[in-house]
Structure 1
Amino acid sequence: MAKDRTPDKSRATGGGASRAGGRGTGGRTRPPTQVVAQQRPWGLIAAAVAVVVFAAAVITYAVVQVREADALRVESIDEIAGAQTYEYEGGLHDDGPIEYEQSPPVGGPHANLWADCTGTVYDVDIRHENAVHSLEHGAVWITYNPDEVTDADIATLAELVDGVSYRMMSPYEGQDAPISLQSWGHQLKVDSADDERVKQFADLMTAKAGEFPEPGATCESPTFLADPLVAEAASAGTSAP
């Protein structure tokens, strides 16, 4: 007897349900998209801004310093209020004690040996006759009355002199002003190391061409530097102890 060919609806339905169910629950699903917010490099931005601000500050400071230096710069001794000018002939050597018209002296006869003036800071009142010879070579000699200046004043002056060729400084006993500056034939006396004229004089007159008798002469004097002659021992011709 032939079998009924009618499809088994229960199987078909079940299979269909299974397939449908498979698509509904057991099939693949696309993972949810993750949205990542872009992070700004705030640290790098802050560092860059700091660098720019610092650079601007440095440039501003440099510009201000240059402008201040330009404002203080002078081209002639006549522009420095209170500076005195004298006429002296160079080349007159005398190893004996010499009486000078100015105190400290600014020119005239002087000892054969010059005081070292290679940016030298002396702590003794050096022999004046030797110092004048240094002026003849183009040096600026800064002197101070040790009874009328402070340690801070001395430090300020030393900073202007120390290591600068054709400059020297020393105490000068009995000086009639707290601070005095000398170059050959020129002098300036001031009350304070902070007086802007101190730097003006030093910058203008240090080895200034045409203002001293022996251009090109050295300021090195190893013998004097090793054992400076002092003012109070001048007549005996002895050196500092």
Structure 2
Amino acid sequence: MSKIRREPRRSRGGTNVVYLVAGGIVLALIVAFAVFAVLDSRRGGGDIAGVRSYDVGPGNRHAQGDVDYEQTPPAGGVHSPVWQNCGFYDEPVREENAVHSLEHGAVWITYRPDLPREQVERLRELAQSQTYILVSPYPELPAPVVASAWGKQLRLDSANDERLEQFVRAYRQGPQTPEPGAVCTGGVGEPS
């Protein structure tokens, strides 16, 4: 009987390393894509530069008459028992009614009366293109445009700042809303 000689196997270590490196790169790309997808879908206000948070207490605290608010414009707190109808207004609205709209999940966008006309028109279009948006001029505003939601606020130099729409996406009927789904019509005011 003759013995069969087997040739020693050649090491395929080089090929394995290539597969491992390629697999690692693919895995890293998948993980990066998943992380970006999660962050993009969250669109929470925590990733919007400049958003301020305030402890305005729970909703459902009604008061008759005027309220002295800590923020300008107010971002929540005690408010009128009747909400402001959402939409666009050419004249200032009563703070206490607007705060009640915030409790219902509205975003109240205020602007200085001297804001350039094209920016005012952009705000009008924003208010008319979706529900739960309240837009009104606000004298003595600390910035040209201020977006407020219940307990949240963002000051902007322009209505064209991309953070305005990010704020609206994050907080209109957002997780901070004390009464999500409550109406933003049937209250006071006639939007134009």
Q: TM-score, normalized by length of structure 1?
A: 0.60
Shift of 1:200: 0.6
- Does residue 81 (structure 1) correspond to residue 46 (structure 2)? The answer is no
Match of 2:83 in 1: 114
Larger Rg: 1
Structure 2 CA distance, aligned partners of 1:217 and 1:86? 22
Structure 2 CA distance, aligned partners of 1:197 and 1:72? 14
Shift of 1:225: 2.7
Match of 2:147 in 1: 181
Match of 1:125 in 2: 92
The equivalent position to 1:213 in structure 2, one of 167, 178, 181, is 178
Structure 2 CA distance, aligned partners of 1:204 and 1:158? 20
Residues 87 and 185 in structure 1, CA contact (< 8 A), matched pair in contact too = yes
Residues 82 and 188 in structure 1, CA contact (< 8 A), matched pair in contact too = yes
The equivalent position to 2:120 in structure 1, one of 150, 154, 175, is 154
Structure 2 CA distance, aligned partners of 1:185 and 1:226? 26
Identity %: 42
Q: TM-score, normalized by length of structure 2?
A: 0.75
Give runs of aligned pairs for residues 9-24 of structure 1, distance below 5 A.
none
* SS of match in other structure, 1:133: helix
* Pair 1:82–1:111, CA change in 2 (3 A): same
Structure 1 CA distance, aligned partners of 2:49 and 2:185? 31
* SS of match in other structure, 1:181: strand
Letter in 1 for 2:70: E
Residues 89 and 191 in structure 2, CA contact (< 8 A), matched pair in contact too = no
How many residue pairs match? The answer is: 154
Deviations 1:139-191 (A, max 9, x none): 001000112x1001101111111141111100001101000000000000010
* Pair 1:72–1:104, CA change in 2 (3 A): farther
Stretches of structure 1 lacking an aligned partner (at least 5 in a row): 1-70, 229-241
Match of 1:99 in 2: 68
Higher relative contact order (CA 8 A, sep 6+): 2
* SS of match in other structure, 2:148: strand
Shift of 1:216: 2.1
* Pair 1:150–1:218, CA change in 2 (3 A): same
Shift of 1:221: 2.2
